[in-house]
Structure 1
């Protein structure tokens, strides 16, 4: 196994390069080493190779069906379109999860409607190809999208989005700059006059023109904005553990990830390299299908967030901003809105009024007393379990060093009913065994320390706040319980490939029930039931990109 720094290995690479337009869009938020490795098509790291699942890429399936329908003359009539669509669904969707099949059928119909609307707005467009590319000799810039053209030189590149088309943003500008350049440089019979970049939202057939410029303006914009971004991606930069770890082909050898080997308690890896957080396992334990459709595939969701979830987001936004100050939260900070000196942070007046009672309770248990040093507020923590071949993520609410120099990892949860005791608190809030297990597996995961950290759970109700604590250094019973809890929750998830639903009363408020065939029937016969009032885990990792 090579001991050479990965960045040096990347610099010495002399093979083929390929940049996707989506890489340019997401590059600023990604680890520099991840981006440099992704661009290098044939780069591998000694001793480890990322393993991929065999399920088809959902957006790729949708695109393949659309392309086949464009080329099928039967689609000129409604009856012919339905016949062709049925054939293509049967051909391409055999290996998809039942929930994805339902979404794919919906998405194809939405795309065809959007196609008709775009032609009505801009004139007839002829389908040309998919994945247009510019470059040669192992140096390529490519776009994952569908390309159309008009008879008078307008070239239109369409990007598919799982949810809704976005309005123009800085991120879509970066993607459009690179995509427009690639389309402009393609050799076609009709020279380009105008380059148009469109997003199509498959949830509702929405469309958005994010870029429309002349041929010359498109090339100039790329030289000013696109090419510098691509140069930055190619040059290996600093490590930056985060969202990109779950897709990185170097993760198993990355020195910036904590060594969490054995953290999940598995004896062998599952069928593919995966990523997981406490929120993932908590949701998976309720319904594997919901986890897969909502967290992994990121399908459109319906309904409003639960009261507990929405309340938690507001309170954590306030705590994040308040604790970043590094000073204790006081009663003056949470005085009534009419008084001077209150700290509302970024909360609106209505949000502040809604959660003020919880914030008042927090001031009685805020840990930022004299002698306390704030290490990080909501720090993302990433590691790799080599035995399970899983990237592990956590984001505690606060990490601080107490007056005795001990690192303390605090999780804060809101509820309407205080736990009866430490055992009840441990059982109700899965982030606690999750954090205990991480801390015991990698002592320095939350900051350099000589002793194992202490894990705290602050539970806040409108009336009071209580702090429960577990000493990872001395409380062997708590450690063994945490290891067993994580092992049992992770065991099925690590090996699952079918993501079967768990129908029940929860289907009535499940945010992806519209895509789940098992939930649809139950929805009409189940009695409505309020969701639990404990604040659920907050997600950290994102699923498949759109």
Structure 2
């Protein structure tokens, strides 16, 4: 049993008000995730502790609603309501948009089907479970209180001997949850007490009721997009007790010296104004106003907006679940090239022709588990890389997939980008981005900044540390490098202009008009879209009359191609940002 008085004391790097007497830790907070900010998790756990600085309050778009809330609410009912849609709309609130209501309706149907399948399995074993109130592990000592929670639908047998928690996910319920999260969930079932209703305020302590210790503990998971269902844990109480024996050390480790990990989630963090790891860069985007809401901007989000503003709206504003589609064509080629280069550069040695032996996979492709077809897709572009590999230049050291974040507090936008390669050359900072294409005529340097906004981001992010930014362009015939001096004020100014040009429309957009047509072909949210077209065009015609091959992104039969045309064509080839990592 954990004694709250013995818990490590967290000392944040900013002035606070309130108290640290109540600590509430969800099972989700304990899961291992290198990309998640541990400090943010610990700050959320101290529910009565506030950041003293209150400027720059997070402004959320009211149309963004929690999609799985109504599903939990419905499955927790012992009797089905007469008006299912009415319950959904009431639960989502008055600001919910039709695509969100549609998504929840579909997911609820799937969750009900999965639940019925689980009930049928239990009946075959003469086991009856009914929805019950949530369970919470609560310990109080010396005016300090620790509460451990888990989010999902709780069930219990009539004789109280069996307790079950059903977790909700989007798809593939058989995928096991993070072990630490599962241990925490089992602990709540085993040692928790039922709560006497929901919290009046988040800062209130849960009121718990007396509990009968269970004999059996079970954790199941339901996929709300595919009706999948799986059992993640099923054991008697003694085995469950052994399984959760490490919870005290998990809690102590969680509260001890948490690490910062700035990223896109900083946009909604209540500590961002005082956080030392959140780089404040007022004026970064060169925009004069704050827009309508706080935003998180990434290159992927910007490309989604270029493809179709409504697609951006459904994915980034409403945050509807996306379809996982098989990567093909130019998208597949780009991913293969990226993966091969990242693996090759981990060796900290220059790429050579020996890495691509004729008629063989080579050690790098073998390490990646590639087939000969995969290598054939990327081989000619990789051959073009050999002569311009950044590690062929002496005194160059690089790391792949490094995330960089900055907060433009003037525009209230959190900018997050992931560098293909980041490091040093002759002790000077170096940022390298690699792009592959079928053919690309040489452009002016400032045109590349519009075409590839991540280069403009990189230049502005590098301004404070100096060094250079390099754009590596690969075609089947050759490769070349375009260099930008991040210490040159003129280069930085051009980069800021390019960012402002690229982001201005998105920043002020409220209506997000659709662009039905080519963008619908591989749209990841077409299932929820109420403005899509059902045809599957092979070409996209832009405003200037140029045609774009949707499969390859290549411009067809056009002279004097504008940068705007190129940027819209390339947007079709950029991968869609997607995460099924749910916030509980």
2:484 is matched with which residue?
A: 470
**Whose RCO is larger (CA < 8 A, sep 6+)?**
1
Deviation at 1:415, TM superposition (A): 1.1
What's the counterpart of residue 58 of structure 1? 67
Q: CA deviation at 1:387?
A: 1.6
Which one of 468, 491, 497 corresponds to residue 504 of structure 2? 491
Aligned to 1:527: 537
Partner of 2:248: 227
**Cα deviation, residue 363, structure 1:** 0.3
| 1:5 to 1:415, Cα distance in 2 relative to 1, 3 A | farther
Partner residue in 2 for 1:447? none
CA distance in 2, matches of 1:538, 1:462: 21
Whether 2:42 is the aligned partner of 1:36: answer yes
The range that moved more, 113-122 or 478-487, is 478-487
Aligned ranges 1:3-402 → 2 under 5 Å: 6-7=12-13, 14-26=20-32, 29-48=35-54, 50-53=57-60, 54=62, 55-67=64-76, 70-72=78-80, 83-93=82-92, 94-123=94-123, 124-129=128-133, 131-137=134-140, 138-152=145-159, 153-169=161-177, 171=178, 173-184=179-190, 185-186=192-193, 191-224=213-246, 226-242=247-263, 244-295=265-316, 297=319, 299-338=321-360, 344-350=366-372, 351-402=374-425
Counterpart of 1:453 in structure 2 is 467
- Residue aligned with 2:439, SS: coil
Query: Separation in 1 of the partners of 2:510 and 2:129?
Result: 40
Unaligned runs of 5+ in 1: 75-82, 445-451
Deviates more, 1:189-198 or 1:205-214: 189-198
Q: Which moved more, 1:246-255 or 1:34-43?
A: 246-255
**Shift of the alpha carbon at 1:97?**
3.0
> Across the two proteins, how many residue pairs are aligned to each other?
515
**How far 1:246 moved relative to its partner?**
4.5
2:35–2:261 Cα contact (<8 Å) kept: no
- 1:545 equivalent in structure 2: 582
How far the C-alpha of 1:60 sits from its partner, in A, is: 1.2
Q: Equivalents in 1 of 2:15, 2:489: separation in Å?
A: 43
Q: Secondary structure at the match of 2:389?
A: coil
Deviation, structure 1 residue 325: 1.4
Q: CA deviation at 1:10?
A: 8.3
Contact 2:76 2:132 in 1 (8 A): no
Question: Aligned pair in 2 of structure 1 residues 510, 9: CA closer, same or farther (>3 Å)?
Answer: same
* CA-based RMSD: 3.0
Structure number with the higher helix fraction is 1
- Residues 63, 39 of structure 1: CA spacing in aligned structure 2 closer, same or farther, 3 A cutoff? same
Contact 1:455 1:469 in 2 (8 A): yes
Change in Cα spacing, 1:25 to 1:401, as seen in structure 2 (3 Å) is closer
- Distance in 1 (CA, whole Å) between partners of 2:120 and 2:89 is 30
Instruction: After superposition, give the CA deviation of every residue in 1:77-118 in whole Å (9 maximum; x if it has no partner).
Output: xxxxxx522332343454223322221110010011111100
Alpha-carbon distance between aligned partners in 1 of 2:390 and 2:44, rounded to the nearest angstrom:
42
Matched, 1:510 2:523: yes
The normalised TM-score by structure 2 is 0.80
Map of 2:563 onto structure 1: none
Is the contact made by 1:141 and 1:182 (CA closer than 8 Å) also made in structure 2? yes
SS of the equivalent of 2:273 reads helix
Counterpart contact for 2:69–2:91, Cα < 8 Å: no
Q: Conserved in 2, the CA contact under 8 Å of 1:426 and 1:433?
A: yes
Q: Is the 8 A contact 1:282 1:430 kept in 2?
A: no
Tell me the residue number matched to 2:7: none
CA displacement 1:202-259 (0-9 Å, x = unmatched): 01110111111112222332222x2321222222333333465344332232222333
Matches of 1:340 and 1:322 in 2, distance apart?
A: 11
**Cα deviation 1:321-353 (Å, max 9, x = unaligned):** 111211111111122243877765414133223
CA distance in 2, matches of 1:432, 1:165: 39
Q: 1:25 to 1:103 in 2, by over 3 A?
A: same
Give the CA deviation at 1:465. 0.9
Distance in structure 2 (CA, Å) of the matches to 1:342 and 1:196:
43
